[in-house]
Amino acid sequence: MKIAVSGKGGTGKTTIAALLARIFMQKGFKVLAIDADPNTTLAFSLGITPEEADKILPISENSNLIEEKTGVKPGSYGSLFRISFQVDDIVQKFSVESPVGVPLLIMGAVRSAGQGCMCPANTLIRALLRHLLTKRKEVVVVDMVAGVEHLGRGTVEYIDVMLIVCEPNLKSLETAKRIFRLSNEMGLRNIFAIGNKVCDDSDEKMIKQYFLKNNIPLLGFIPYDEVIKKTDATGGTVIDISNPTTGVKSIMMIVERLLEKA
C-alpha cells in the first residue's frame, strides 16, 4: 500500500504520517517513510533529533547523486541529461534508520511534471517516486507539502491511497475539498478525508456534514490529544504506541480500515 498524507498546513500530516508508518510496522509490515515536504520535519516525528536531522542531505539537494544518475550537475543549464537511469539503489544508500525503526528517505522539494521544471534534480526525484510507488513491496507513507500546488503528474499519480487531513475549521475543509478534486481529476481512486484535532460532537458533526455535502468519503476522526501535542513540543521524543492514547487508538483504527479497503 502506498499512502500519501496531504492537507492544509498545520493540520497534522506529519504527526499522522509518522504514526501510520509506526503502526504498520508494529503490525509486521515492512515500511518506508518518505518526507516529500521541502520543509522537512518527518524525521522529528520518527525520533531523530534536530542535530541528526540537519546532517541528512535531501535527495533533491544531493548534487553528486543527481550528477551520477543524470550525467549533469544541477544548475548547468542547457546541458543534455539522461532521463532514464537506475534508481533502485537509492533507498538502500540514502534512507536513514530512525530510532523507532522506520527507515526514512528525505526527498526535498518535489515538483510535478505539470510545473514545467525538467531540470536534472526533478527528473531524478520523479523517477525515484515512480519507482517507490510502483516497484517496491513495502508499505510506503509519504508526508506531503501543505496545500495543493504540488499535486500533479509525476508526484502522486501512482499513490494507492490519498489521505487528506483536516481540522474542524472551514479553511482546512476547503483545502481538503480542493485536494480531493485535484486528486480525483488525476485519476486517484482511494481518496479519504481524516478529521483531526476533534474536540467534541459539534466538531465531528461539522466535518461530517461538510464532507457529506461534497461527496467526499471520510475515513475517521482523531481527537485532539494532549499527549500528541506535548510530545511534539519536545525534540527527540516520540509518542508511546505500546500504551496508546485516544489519538493513537484512532489512528490504529484508521490503519484497520485502510487494510480492509486495500
Ligand X SMILES: Nc1ncnc2c1ncn2[C@@H]1O[C@H](COP(=O)(O)OP(=O)(O)OP(=O)(O)O)[C@@H](O)[C@H]1O
Residue 13 vs 126, nearer CB to Mg ion:
13
Q: To the nearest whole angstrom, how small is the minimum distance from the Cβ of residue 184 to ligand X?
A: 21
Instruction: State yes or no: residue 32 binds ligand X (CB under 6 A).
Output: no
Phi, psi angle pair for 169, to nearest 5°:
-150, 155
Asked if 12 is part of the footprint of ligand X (rule: CB under 6 A), the reply reads yes
Contact by Cβ (8 Å): 108, 59:
yes
Q: Output 112-115 pairs: Cβ under 8 A, ≥24 positions apart.
A: 112/150, 112/151, 112/152, 112/153, 112/154, 112/155, 113/152, 113/153, 113/154, 113/155, 114/152, 114/153, 114/154, 115/152
What does 222 interact with, of ligand X, Mg ion, none (CB < 5 to 8 A by kind)? ligand X
- Nearest CA-CA partner of 98 in 41, 148, 151, 29: 41
Q: 246-261 and 13-26 are packed helices; what angle lies between their axes, rounded to 10 degrees?
A: 70
Q: Which one of 14, 45, 95, 250 is in contact with Mg ion (CB under 5 A)?
A: 14
| One residue of 1, 3, 4, 13 binding ligand X per CB under 6 A | 13
The minimum distance between CB 196 and ligand X, in angstroms, equals 5
Residues 201-230 that bind ligand X (CB under 6 A): 222, 224-225, 228-229
Q: Which of Mg ion, ligand X, none does residue 228 bind (CB under 5 to 8 Å by kind)?
A: ligand X
Nearer residue to ligand X within complex by CB, 36 or 65: 36
Is residue 9 part of the contact set for ligand X (CB under 6 A)?
yes
Among 14, 112, 122, 183, binds ligand X (CB under 6 A): 14
Distance CA 212, CA 210 (A): 6
CA distance 169 to 186: 26
Q: 246-261 and 226-233 are packed helices; what angle lies between their axes, rounded to 10 degrees? A: 100
- Smallest gap from Cβ 8 to Mg ion, in A, equals 11
Among the residue ranges 3-11, 49-57, 125-133, 201-209, the one whose residues contact ligand X (CB under 6 A): 3-11
Q: Which is nearer to Mg ion, 66 or 110 (CB)?
A: 110
The residues, ordered by sequence, that sit 6+ positions from 142 with a Cβ below 8 Å of its Cβ are: 2, 3, 4, 5, 17, 34, 36, 156, 159
Q: Fill in the DSSP letter of residue 149.
A: T
Is position 70 an interface residue for Mg ion (rule: CB under 5 A)?
no
Number of shown-chain residues binding ligand X (CB under 6 A): 20
Biggest CA pair distance of the chain: 58
Q: How far is the CB of 25 from ligand X (least distance, A)?
A: 18
Kindly list the residues in this chain that would bind ligand X in the complex (CB under 6 A). 7, 9-15, 37, 41, 146, 196-197, 222, 224-225, 228-229, 232, 247
